[in-house]
A and B are shown apart, each in its own frame.
Chain A
């Protein structure tokens, strides 16, 4: 029973984490940018969801439609903010050192932190209606909220979609060409900047979606962004940067490690992520799924 609880709790947490990490790993994979501001887009997604769900309610739409509102919120964030950031900001710095780009996204994180505060103010938003939409699932003595299981489904769907898109479609292969070298890809006729914009947009969509999906479970307020950055970084590192499968397994490892800690040794929760990451890296210095490197010599 305990093992099963740990498993369920771990998977639920992992699915949330996976959606965030998926976007992060995608953006890194394609644009070679380790996006610290990913957490900010997550927060903006949560805020947008809060606004959209509230807006749906004022329009008199049924609360059953609130998932649609959340999805729309994520789409809106991606459609508006992603091109703005990618074309307006990141593009200026392409080709620069990777570390420098991390710094650019750190600056972006600082800026977005205050911008969300200016736009939405410091008071928290609550949109817990969707959380109850899917009822409860009784499980022995435990009661889970159906929403949590819905989260698992969404995560699996997102993962499959991105994996399929990158590995089984032509677009994916074209993206691989861009990842390898934008100069070569554009010589072959690939509109590299469009691929960049789309990839970034999709990554941001995933961040915003994760934020939107989390909005009903928390109060949406300043400070939301910081918490997710490091843990999603850890997931992506464990899995191997840029790897979809890796992000999935990394999320599971982190989720299960955390659930195991909480249930059996709560005092160790604070360390669980870092220990998991360190153990994986000691045995697999480049993460579980390392990207294939071209021959150097």
Chain B
């Protein structure tokens, strides 16, 4: 099995705050990894470094054997990395469908100067994805009118329009109501299973973590404090103390 993502010795600090402190992570392709950690532990920072939003102060990141440290988001995306955001990043004044069409158009490569954006083929693809996320009813509504949870779903759906090798989801379920959480994760898992996409997802909900992750990496204060299958990580004493809180409660 090849290594999809390999981060070595990543360091990142913001002034006095250390958000990544010698982070080493290897992810084999096809694996589903959950990143957990206390708030401010550096999960989003890690995702941001992998996707090129932030440059690490030190360390290297390689994707599928190719070094990508220091490349910008656009280049990295073109290499097959997609992500969703903790706070959805959408075109607020456009409809949900148009957002999907934009995503589809961008993924089609070169932007045509004259081919109509709303071509039937692209539309069908976009609608299919919307349907899969149970968003079809919202297709014609402006994003600014959509509630937070729906935006979250749309944000993830947009990340999925391309066929990424590596998908990073930053708190996919936060803000999504219970009724929709599991179906949504099932949808994502279903969509990806066939294509053997490697997934990293940041998550605070341990139920989701145990159900969907092959492996869990726990962060605390910029460091990786545990990196094992879910059961092992959740049983870890440090993880229980700093992340899940189960230790204190039990004590």
Contact = CB atoms under 8 A, between A and B. Distances in A.
Nearest to B87: A297
A296 B89 CA distance: 9
A194 to B, nearest CB: 29
Interface in B59-101: 85-87, 89
Interface residues of B, number: 8
The prevalent SS among residues of A at the interface is loop
Interface string A278-297: 00000000000000000011
B182 to A, nearest CB: 25
B48 interface: yes
Contacts, number: 10
B118 to A, nearest CB: 26
B174 interface: no
Nearest to B170: A297
A297 to B, nearest CB: 5
A294 to B, nearest CB: 10
Interface string A62-103: 000000000000000000000000000000000000000000
A200 B86 CA distance: 37
B6 interface: no
A137 to B, nearest CB: 47
B53 interface: yes
A266 to B, nearest CB: 45
Contacts of A296: 87, 89
B44 interface: yes
A96 to B, nearest CB: 13
B76 to A, nearest CB: 14
B54 to A, nearest CB: 10
Interface in A253-297: 296-297
Contacts of A297: 44, 48, 53, 85-87, 89, 170
A296 B90 CA distance: 12
Interface in A195-248: none
A7 to B, nearest CB: 36
A296 B44 CA distance: 11
Nearest to A296: B87
A284 B87 CA distance: 28
Nearest to B83: A297
Nearest to B86: A297
A297 B87 CA distance: 6
A296 to B, nearest CB: 7
A5 to B, nearest CB: 43
Nearest to B54: A297
Contacts of B86: 297
B213 to A, nearest CB: 22
Nearest to B44: A297
A36 B53 CA distance: 36
A297 B44 CA distance: 8
A267 to B, nearest CB: 43
Nearest to B89: A297
B40 to A, nearest CB: 12
Interface in A140-170: none
A172 B89 CA distance: 32
B144 to A, nearest CB: 13
Interface string B41-62: 0001000100001000000000
Contacts of B170: 297
Interface in B137-195: 170
Contacts of B44: 297
A40 B86 CA distance: 46
B6 to A, nearest CB: 23
10 contacts: A296-B87, A296-B89, A297-B44, A297-B48, A297-B53, A297-B85, A297-B86, A297-B87, A297-B89, A297-B170
8 cross-chain pairs, A with B, having the tightest CB-CB distances, nearest first: A297-B85, A297-B86, A297-B87, A297-B53, A297-B48, A297-B89, A296-B87, A297-B44
Given A297-B44, A297-B48, A297-B170, 7 more contacts: A296-B87, A296-B89, A297-B53, A297-B85, A297-B86, A297-B87, A297-B89
